[in-house]
Amino acid sequence: MGSVERIQNVARRVAKWHQAGHQVVVVPSAMSGETNRLLGMAREIQKNPDPRELDMLASTGEQVSVALLSMALQELGVAARSYAGWQVPIRTDSAFNKARIQSIDDARVRADLDANKVVIITGFQGVDDQNNITTLGRGGSDTSAVAVAAAMGAVECLIYTDVDGVYTTDPRVVPEARRMNVISFEEMLEMASLGSKVLQIRSVEFAGRYRMPTRVLSSLTDPTGSLAEEMASGTLITFEEDEKMETAAVSGIAFSRDEAKLTLLAVPDKPGIAHSILGPIAAANIDVDVIVQNQSVAGTTDFSFTVNRAEYNRAVEVLTKEVQPAVGAREVVTDDKVCKVSIVGIGMRSHVGIASLMFQTLSQEGINIQMISTSEIKTSVIIADKYMELAVRALHKAFGLDQPGGSL
Amino acid sequence: MGSVERIQNVARRVAKWHQAGHQVVVVPSAMSGETNRLLGMAREIQKNPDPRELDMLASTGEQVSVALLSMALQELGVAARSYAGWQVPIRTDSAFNKARIQSIDDARVRADLDANKVVIITGFQGVDDQNNITTLGRGGSDTSAVAVAAAMGAVECLIYTDVDGVYTTDPRVVPEARRMNVISFEEMLEMASLGSKVLQIRSVEFAGRYRMPTRVLSSLTDPTGSLAEEMASGTLITFEEDEKMETAAVSGIAFSRDEAKLTLLAVPDKPGIAHSILGPIAAANIDVDVIVQNQSVAGTTDFSFTVNRAEYNRAVEVLTKEVQPAVGAREVVTDDKVCKVSIVGIGMRSHVGIASLMFQTLSQEGINIQMISTSEIKTSVIIADKYMELAVRALHKAFGLDQPGGSL
């Protein structure tokens, strides 16, 4: 949410749903720029702000939003009531800055809904069993929204964002990218996890766990437009495969620039080597993304993995100081100038040759593939990040995504 | 508290006490301008913001402060932990925007103190028995500080503010005003309630209820100065009368411009009339200050009272729409251009002629007295507000407060 005016627009949109007879729970994010303002002050004071205090601080952004949105709804004549995460309560574990939701008590919210009130709940935050405020980390408001929708047994979770749906790839990189009306949950999961920034991965996971139909809509459309128009826009993440009209082999191209690659060369090859390497990384709370272990000669193996670029320095430190001496690797080679590009499609299950076309396309563009990782419905490659846009555009075209109903 | 730099200065000051071996609980206010920023947004959205949502909103200001102060202390190597009012918890009633503290649980705070941590608690706010966030209203951080000090059995409550103590009157109005080293609780209560803006009245009441010695200090002095110097500055509010060295009849001149006067003319005089008039005012949650009922002829009486100017419009509405028809008064006369000036002194108990000198002084300046109200240790007059500074200066001089050890 942005300025006061933006809050008033959200209120108009919510009032429209309420007046159409729906029970509505709203989970707004912080006002635009507010979270950054708060984190900026924290970093001025402490280089690495204390995680618990950071959550105490950052959670105020959403609390401001819910109070103002409640006022804006009341001003429109709609009874409304705001709650902070701890008031619901939304229970989480104690992993400050990246907490996970454990349970949501719906009693208080349901009582308000039954009294014809709109309920507004702070996104992004909860409370642990010691009554400490926790936050869910980046994109946490989406996750909160899906979790609340699931807990309340909602018919659908609408996520208003600054894009009007899920595209075959980022339109800023490929102007020919097209909006999908429907996407399967599995595809969305891959698109989100691979860096398509529409929805945060954990909100998609939540949608999947509870089979919660979730629609991504634009918050920039006219808030007073008809509900029918609003529903026709955006992209519905569905759990019914036959609802999905487009049966293209590849539905979209995802990518992420925030990658960094770490390689251990000539690690003595013995059972348990992966755990010896990744155990300390996990213990340092660093998420590992792509992992590749190469077959080796002479009793050694090369082991590569990628991490989020923000955690690159820490990962390098753990690797050189802890892991390398422990496992006896010859050398650590690292590169934070890589990116990941992926093709995603539920149709890949039943089509052959999809990955081949990907490799061929990249080869034609002269792009060297550094790592490859595959799953049932996606194939990812790690390449030098300077080639990212080139690769995405070439693949979008090669798989026919530029044309309506495209792909092989 | 002001900018990040100001928070860092507060941290230095707190660290100094902590390092001297004291267990310290800090109750900071919101950052300078923050509360006004929040209330400004609220009023942009709702002309009369919903009281519950307003507390939800306003309480975030202090939450930001405690988190940042905790970080700043940690950066200085002092273990610290912040709590919002609801986490302590500080229990209040449900009077949003002007809640009253009912109880404070000290268990969690004490455990932290015993673990050598500085504890930082949001001022100004608490939580009601429905887990709604409440705020204590203007100046509520001082009240919170005293209440927490009392609940923790503190030796002394230090209140750092933007003045360096309690003066014989406001130095901005009378440059000759002098700082008092010690003031009795009773005098401080009158000075505070009469508009001397050093401490909020309720914080003084709390200090009195728990006989909590409270020292008003300047937050603008060098935070790294010696503790001895710091203690020698400021004003101690004491409960031991013999500690009070200055036995002047009048200790200070208090005043308040935020007054408005309402008069009902020719009210039929019968028992219960005061209640018939002030009952509806109280029901509208409007505080009444000075009340005067004049003797009357022909079976009617004139009834006047003052309210805070901010509540003037509401009071006029209640009076004209509800009270006047009900009690059958001939006319309602109102004036929001009045002020209150008071002389305060514990010595007034044993001195005669103090009030006379006050009236004589005002008369010599040609100032008409509209209402008079007296108590054991103060005499207040309501006068036209244009005369306020003139009256205060004349009285300050007449009672010898310009000279050290002055007054009759």
In the numeric block, which tokens belong to residue B381? 């007059």
Note whether B53 contacts A38, CB cutoff 8 Å.
no
Can you give the pLDDT at residue A280? 92
Q: Do A72 and B46 touch (CB under 8 A)?
A: yes
Query: What pLDDT does B270 receive?
Result: 80
What are the domain boundaries of chain B? 4-243
Please answer yes or no on whether B41 and A133 come within 8 Å at the CB atom: no
- Chain A residue numbers with beta carbons less than 8 Å from the beta carbon of B66 are 56
Residue A77: per-residue pLDDT: 97
- Predicted confidence band at B9 (pLDDT cuts at 50, 70, 90)? very high
Of A52, A67, A75, the CB nearest to B56: A67
CATH number of the domain at A252-398, please? 3.30.2130.10
Q: Which of A212-216, B62-66, B255-259 has the highest mean pLDDT?
A: B62-66
B100-157 pLDDT, tens digit each: 899 999 999 999 999 999 999 999 999 999 999 999 976 688 889 999 999 999 999 9
Q: What is the separation of C-alpha B239 from the centre of its chain, rounded to a whole number of angstroms?
A: 18
pLDDT band at B195; cut points 50, 70, 90: low
Tell me the mean pLDDT in the region A101-124: 96
pLDDT of residue A196: 63
* Sign of the alpha-carbon torsion through A325, A327, A330, A333: negative
Q: Select from 2.40.30.10, 3.30.10.20, 3.40.50.720, 3.40.1160.10 the CATH code of B4-243.
A: 3.40.1160.10
What's the pLDDT at B406?
46
Which stretch of A206-210, B34-38, B142-146 has the lowest confidence by average pLDDT?
Answer: A206-210
* pLDDT at site B43: 95
pLDDT value at position B407?
A: 45
Q: Which of B72, B82, B131 sits opposite A56 (nearest CB)?
A: B82
User: With an 8 Å Cβ cutoff, are B67 and A42 in contact?
Assistant: yes
Q: Which of B7, B66, B132 sits opposite A45 (nearest CB)?
A: B7
State mean pLDDT over A132-136: 95
Q: For residue B63, what are the CA distances in angstroms to A56, A65, A122, B130?
A: 7, 15, 15, 20
Give A-chain residues touching B30 at CB under 8 angstroms. none
In angstroms, the Cα distances linking B31 to A33, B7, B143, B200, B403 are: 18, 8, 17, 18, 37
pLDDT-derived band of residue B193, with 50, 70 and 90 as boundaries?
A: low
- Give tens-digit pLDDT for B298-338: 788 888 999 999 999 999 999 999 999 999 888 999 999 99
SS3 A52: helix
User: pLDDT class for A195, splitting at 50, 70, 90?
Assistant: low
Q: In the beta sheet, which residues pair with residue B80? A: B118
Entry pTM: 0.75
Closest Cβ–Cβ partner in A49, A54, A71 for B45 = A71
A302 phi and psi angles, rounded to 5 deg:
-105, 135
- What per-residue confidence (pLDDT) applies to A269? 81
pLDDT on residue A243:
47
In terms of pLDDT, which residue wins out, B236 or B2? B236
Contact A276, A283 (CB under 8 A): no
CB–CB contact B60 A57 (8 Å): no
pLDDT for residue B271? 78
Model confidence pLDDT, tens digit, residues B279-289: 999 889 898 88
Instruction: Please classify residue B345 by burial: count the beta carbons closer than 10 Å to its beta carbon, then call 0-12 exposed, 13-18 middle and 19+ buried.
Output: buried
- Mean pLDDT along residues B48-65: 96
**Nearest chain B CA: its distance from A53 CA (Å):** 5
With beta carbons less than 8 A apart as the criterion, state whether B89 and B134 touch. no
- Diameter over CA atoms, chain B: 76
Using one digit for the tens of pLDDT, what is the confidence trace for A238-253? 887 654 444 568 889 9
Chain B, nearest residue to A131 by Cα: B87
Confidence category of residue A391, pLDDT binned at 50, 70, 90: very high
CA atoms within 13 A on the CB side of A260: 17
pLDDT in tens, A253-276: 999 888 999 999 988 888 788 888
Vertex A87 angle, CA A81 and A90, to 5°: 115
Contact A45 B71 (CB under 8 A): yes
CB atoms within 10 A of CB B349: 11
Whether the pLDDT of residue A349 is over 50: the answer is yes
For chain B, how many residues are written?
408
Beta strands in A153-196 (DSSP E): 157-161, 166-167, 179-180, 182-184
The whole-angstrom separation of Cα A203 and Cα B363 is 75
Q: Label the pairing between strands B235-238 and B182-184.
A: parallel
In percent, the amount of chain B with pLDDT more than 90 equals 57
CB contact under 8 A, A63 and B56: yes
The pLDDT, as a whole number, for residue A69 is 97
pLDDT range class, residue A38, cuts 50, 70, 90: very high
In chain B, which residue's Cα lies nearest the Cα of A68? B42
**Residue B74: how many CB atoms within 10 A of its CB?**
20
Per CATH, A1-154 and A252-398 having the same topology is answered no
CA distance B128 to B96: 9
DSSP string, A7-25: HHHHHHHHHHHHHTT---E
Beta bridge partners of A300: A268
Domain A1-154 top-level CATH class: alpha beta
DSSP B171-237: TTT-TT--EESEEEHHHHHHHHHTT-TTS-HHHHHHHHHTT--EEEEETTS-TTS-HHHHHHSSEEE
pLDDT at A13 over 70: yes
Q: How many whole angstroms separate alpha carbon A176 and alpha carbon A361?
A: 18
Where does residue A241 rank: exposed (0-12), middle (13-18), buried (19+ CB within 10 A)? exposed
- Mean pLDDT, chain A, whole residue set: 89
Question: How many CB atoms are closer than 10 A to CB B370?
Answer: 17
Chain B residues touching A87 at Cβ < 8 A: 131-132
Which has the minimum average pLDDT: A22-31, A75-84, B231-240, B339-348?
B231-240
Q: What is the pLDDT of residue A245?
A: 46
**A117-133 pLDDT per residue, tens:** 999 999 999 999 999 99
DSSP states of A241-303:
GGG-----S--EEEEEEEEEEEEEEEEE--TTHHHHHHHHHHHTT--EEEEEEE--STTEEEE
Query: Which single residue is written with the structure tokens 């970080």?
Result: B71
The answer to whether the CB atoms of B74 and A53 lie below 8 A apart is yes
Size of interface A-B (CB pairs under 8 A): 100
pLDDT at position B141? 86
pLDDT at A407 over 60: no
Taking an 8 Å cut-off on Cβ atoms, the answer to whether A63 and B52 are in contact is no
Percent pLDDT > 70 in chain A is 94
Confidence tier at A406 by pLDDT (50, 70, 90): very low
